Amino acid sequence: MLSVRVFVTGAAGFIGSALVRQLIADNAADVVCVDKLTYAGNLDSLAEVQSSPRYVLHRVDIADREAMRALFERYRPDAVLHLAAESHVDRSIDAPGDFIHTNVNGTFVLLEEARRYWLTLSATQREKFRFLHVSTDEVFGSLDDGGFFTEESPYHPNSPYSASKAAADHLVRAWHHTYGLPVVVTNCSNNYGPFQFPEKLIPLMILRAWAGESLPVYGRGENQRDWLYVDDHVRALRLVLARGRVGETYAIGGGAVLRNIDVVRAVCRILQELRPSATRYEDLIEFVEDRPGHDLRYAIDASKIRDELGWQPIETFESGLRRTVEWYLAHDEWLERVRSGAYRGERLGLGVTA
């Protein structure tokens, strides 16, 4: 067995599963995967590592104090990488209670059980232990006047999702400053790549365009996001875990700030090249009523993680998007299993309580 053992919460989710796959492929750690396996938790995303002796999965709600305590006592990890979260803004508008339960209460329970466990360690083990909390740039609100988010940006969350993540960020920092728990926080921009649940913009557009369905774009598609390929994000998280300074925050962005309409058109162009259609995919674009409280612009200044840890994205948006579209086209069986579940690509975020 390897000498490093880590907990990854939200391990069957999009970013969590990419992290687990990379850790196992690189022989970097023994990985204890913790996931509630809600609608977006997909065990297919972990299929390639399930036979590894360094992988184990426990179906556990991080808000279940007794279950989390038992896992800490059984496995005694060297680090916790906390990615478990309800993460879709539209769903948070329809059912905010789920976001409070997991993102706020779950983070609180996880911090408390991590602290309880940490206090049982020797002085040397305590010094090495890390709690890495993975958050979002959405906690900072909207950059309506341009500019970039940095680690010093004030918090101004505008959706139930971002408010719940902001609350979790503050809890993590408080547990460091009050109790000394060795934490590091990251705030990332919009991730994309293979295995992403198709409620998010890029996979939803791929899925609907391929099926010849309309491509709904909020407002006039002028909202801007900073796009980060998921494997680049995972490399950043591993660097922060290994070399990040305790108590610090690191902003992680892909350096690709694009309007939503331009992202959708880019998806259509790649699809038209790879799967030509007599009806142009771009002709399927349909502008729909905007999401309530839709932030105009997110963009991250990632100079801190670049200068301190030497990280920068490998994928350009063009190369990452092409890899993403190619993956979805080659995994229609995965898409079919997703579409056979509860989510069918319908409009979310209309404020209708689930």
Question: Which string of DSSP letters, residue by residue, matches 199-267?
Answer: TSHHHHHHHHHHTT--EEEETTS--EEEEEEHHHHHHHHHHHHHHPPTT-EEEE--S-EEEHHHHHHHH
Question: Which string of DSSP letters, residue by residue, matches 150-164?
Answer: -TTPPP---SHHHHH
* Radius of gyration over every alpha carbon of the chain, rounded to an integer in angstroms: 20
| Both structure tokens of 8 | 């990854």
Region for 352 from its dihedrals, namely left if φ exceeds 0, alpha if ψ lies in -120 to 50, beta otherwise: beta
Whether 73 is catalytic: no
The pairing of strands 30-35 and 5-9 is parallel
Choose, from 55, 161, 218, 298, the residue flagged as catalytic.
161
Choose, from 78, 86, 113, 137, the residue flagged as catalytic.
137
Whether 248 is catalytic: no
Whether 117 is catalytic: no
Contact yes or no for 158/141 (Cβ under 8 A): yes
Indicate the burial class of 156 (C-beta count within 10 angstroms; 0-12, 13-18, 19 or more): middle
For residue 54, the Cα-to-chain-centroid distance in whole angstroms is: 23
Alpha-carbon span 312 to 24, nearest angstrom: 22
Alpha-carbon span 133 to 284, nearest angstrom: 39
Choose, from 30, 113, 138, 232, the residue flagged as catalytic.
138
| Residues involved in catalysis | 137-138, 161
